[in-house]
Amino acid sequence: MMQELALPDVYRFLEPGPVVLLTTAQNGKMNVMAMLWHMMVEFVPPRLACVVSNGDYSFAAMRAVGECVIAIPSVESASEVVAVGNVSGRDVDKFSAFGLTPVAAGRVSAPLIEECFANFECRVVDDSLVEAYGIFVLEVLAAWVDPEKENPKTLHHHGYGKFVVDGRSIHLKSKMP
């Protein structure tokens, strides 16, 4: 079950640089892609930037609808994540092909993904660098986490199918939030 997450806590999930999934919906057709290029931009309201290139099938929906969901998979979904990254939504309904369950979001047309431990509903707030670099600036409108997925370990891509999984945690006295 998804539980609402306070928006000021969103950065703690994206700042570590996990591989994420990005969902869109346009004219009743959903899609999902794997995304490696994203970063936080502002704590509150939580804003992030990400790169969706015009070669990605999701690009048209991002442009036309201006909404998406950023969903964070844990290592248990690694094979599904790679499968999503290996094919285009032009050719395949990736939700049914790879056993990902779309769940209606509250604020955007794009679906949440039930198998992911965190889901962020986003709206495009700046597209001025889309043509030059594919950079979309997004604002998170609503955020959800699944408290039943305890201590999720995320994936970090090092190229050519090598993924490093979260290891041990260390705690240091930081003044950074």
Counting contacts by CB under 8 A, is residue 92 touching a second copy? no
Counting contacts by CB under 8 A, is residue 15 touching a second copy? yes
The burial class, CB within 10 Å (0-12 / 13-18 / 19+), for 24 is buried
Segment interacting with a second copy (CB under 8 A) among 58-66, 106-114, 141-149, 151-159: 151-159
CB atoms within 10 A of CB 57: 18
Q: Which is nearer to a second copy, 36 or 103 (CB)?
A: 36
- Binding-site size for a second copy (CB under 8 A) equals 56
- Distance of alpha carbon 61 from alpha carbon 173, whole angstroms: 43
Q: Which is nearer to a second copy, 90 or 158 (CB)?
A: 158
Q: Phi and psi (nearest 5°) for 104?
A: -60, 135
Counting contacts by CB under 8 A, is residue 123 touching a second copy? no
Q: Which is nearer to a second copy, 1 or 170 (CB)?
A: 170
* Torsion angle (degrees, nearest 10) of CA 11, 116, 103, 53: 70
**Which residues from 51-70 bind a second copy, rule CB under 8 A?**
51
**Cα dihedral across residues 5, 42, 84, 110: positive or negative:** positive
Q: What is the DSSP letter of 110?
A: S
Contact residues for a second copy, defined by CB under 8 A: 9, 11-12, 15-18, 34, 36-42, 47, 49-51, 75, 78-79, 82, 85-86, 126, 128-129, 132-135, 137, 153, 156-177
